[in-house]
Amino acid sequence: MKKILAIFSQFAVGALFVFSGLVKMNDPVGFSFKLEEYFSEEVLNLPVFEPFALSIAVLLVIAEVLLGAALILGLYKRWTLILLSAMIGFFTFLTFWSAYFNQVTDCGCFGDAIPLTPWESFYKDVVLTALILVLWWGRDELFDRWPKWLISIKLAAIPLFCFGLTYHVLHHLPVVDFRAYAEGNSIVEGMKSAEELGLEPPQYEVIYTMENAEGTLQEISSTQYVNEKWWEKKDWSMRSELSKTIQVKEGYEPPVHDFSIMNDYGEMTDSILELDEVWLLVAYNVRKTKEQGWAPVLKTAAYLKEQGIPYVVLSASMPEDFIPYGFTDTTAFAFTDETTLKTMVRSNPGWVVLKDGVVAKKYHFNDSPH
């Protein structure tokens, strides 16, 4: 029984680590955005690590795959288990923090491929922790009788694959795009609400924190507040700063949300989505753009202008911030939420080509055409 449990845990944990690492390795930039959320002042208050979020993300995803593979192969058992325990401890802490304080709504454990709620992520890590404890208990029973030639090949191939894939997606775009703005997806359709599609929307409820004269705190739902007429209870007052909103029933939520394009004249989202073809030059924060990225995208912008193809610069930065990069007052600028822009394309700057509101093509600045 001990041997069976140990080997089952070995392959289950190893496979999950490899899968989780590969999914995030496909999009390390997206994972780095998630780490930035954790490091922000509002969450863990570790802003000193924010500039290194991408480097940390790359190291973590490569380590996940290598450790998962080492576990499956039964290599370096003691050190593999030590590093696996440290990593799962780190992830369990993050997912518990997300779940308990409801500050980061998606841990990014499986990237955008399999979104998990904070509590689902935490429970997943608790199960993994239990399985790793089984691995420590049955360490001597782990399967390690693979052919030497197979181990030699994998020891060379797996690290090369990891570094090769990571290099590719960092200098181009994710190999597989799991986001709502993937090529072929209609933004128009993605924005439709549950009511428009005849589906049941999610239901939310506000939780109020009430305090009496003795300092006793009590949480009640907004339904309780109305039905029980809490406003008439003079010995209780509401601590509005402690109010929170929770989801009480699941339902359909539009995959495209917070998509809004505005300029000095107002909302222009619908007019952009109705165009036969429009190129969106996405630069979510001009100060964080890659300097080497401007030369190729400016060539593309010049070509589009010659061909009479409309393009708009979308950013959360101000238009005047773009002047040092060669743009003029005649360039069409528009404002869009920074998080939305980060989601649209993993390149800063990068192109998103829309045709009748459908994402026809996306380009990393290294692949900027023309």
The arithmetic mean of pLDDT across residues 350-361, rounded, is 96
What amino acid occupies position 223?
Answer: T
Contacts of 148 (CB under 8 A, 6+ apart): none
pLDDT, averaged across the chain: 89
**Chain position carrying tokens 């608790």:** 126
> What pLDDT does residue 281 have?
96
To the nearest whole percent, how much of the chain has pLDDT over 70?
96
133-142 pLDDT tens trace: 999 998 888 9
Tokens of 99: 């779940």
Judge whether residue 355 has pLDDT over 70. Answer: yes
> What pLDDT does residue 107 have?
55
> What pLDDT does residue 108 have?
56
Tokens of 323: 């002047």
Phi (first) and psi of residue 199, to 5 degrees: -110, 165
96-118 pLDDT tens trace: 887 777 666 665 566 576 777 77
* CB count in 10 Å sphere of residue 57: 24
If phi > 0 it is left, if psi is from -120 to 50 it is alpha, else beta; for residue 47 that is: alpha
> What pLDDT does residue 222 have?
87
What amino acid occupies position 151?
Answer: I
Judge whether residue 357 has pLDDT over 90. Answer: yes
The arithmetic mean of pLDDT across residues 296-304, rounded, is 93
Positive/negative CA dihedral, 41, 42, 45, 49? negative
Judge whether residue 34 has pLDDT over 90. Answer: no
Task: Specify the pTM.
Answer: 0.84
C-alpha to C-alpha distance for 179 and 307, rounded to whole angstroms: 30
Judge whether residue 49 has pLDDT over 70. Answer: yes
- 84-90 long-range Cβ contacts below 8 angstroms, 24+ apart: 84/13, 84/17, 84/132, 84/135, 85/132, 85/136, 87/60, 87/63, 88/125, 88/128, 88/129, 88/132, 89/129
**Of 4-13, 40-49, 142-151, 179-188, minimum mean pLDDT range:** 40-49
Cis before 174? omega within 30: no
CA distances from 10 to 2, 19, 134, 143, 254 (A): 12, 14, 9, 8, 39
225-258 pLDDT tens trace: 889 888 888 888 898 888 888 777 888 889 998 8
Would you state the CATH architecture of domain 257-367? 3-Layer(aba) Sandwich (3.40)
> What pLDDT does residue 32 have?
93
> What pLDDT does residue 111 have?
59
Q: Are strands 217-221 and 203-212 parallel, antiparallel or unpaired?
A: antiparallel
275-290 pLDDT tens trace: 999 999 999 998 888 8
> What pLDDT does residue 23 have?
93
> What pLDDT does residue 110 have?
60
CA distances from 355 to 133, 167, 279 (A): 53, 30, 9
The arithmetic mean of pLDDT across residues 184-202, rounded, is 91
Cα angle 104, 108, 109 (rounded to 5 degrees) comes to: 125
163-176 pLDDT tens trace: 999 999 999 999 99
C-alpha to C-alpha distance for 327 and 92, rounded to whole angstroms: 46
Instruction: Write the secondary structure of the chain as one string of H (helix), E (strand) and C (coil).
Output: CHHHHHHHHHHHHHHHHHHHHHHHHCCHHHHHHHHHHHHCCCCCCCHHHHHHHHHHHHHHHHHHHHHHHHHHHCCCHHHHHHHHHHHHHHHHHHHHHHHHHCCCCCCCCCCCCCCCCHHHHHHHHHHHHHHHHHHHHCHHHCCCCCCHHHHHHHHHHHHHHHHHHHHHHHHCCCCCCCCCCCCCCEHHHHCCCHHHHCCCCCEEEEEEEEEECCCCEEEEEHHHHHHCCHHHCCCEEECHHHCEEEEEECCCCCCCCCCCCEECCEECHHHHHCCCCEEEEECCCHHHCCHHHHHHHHHHHHHHHHHCCCEEEEECCCHHHHHHHCCCCCCCEEECCHHHHHHHCCCCCEEEEEECCEEEEEEEHHHCCC
Q: Which sequence spans correspond to the domains of the chain?
A: 2-171, 203-249, 257-367
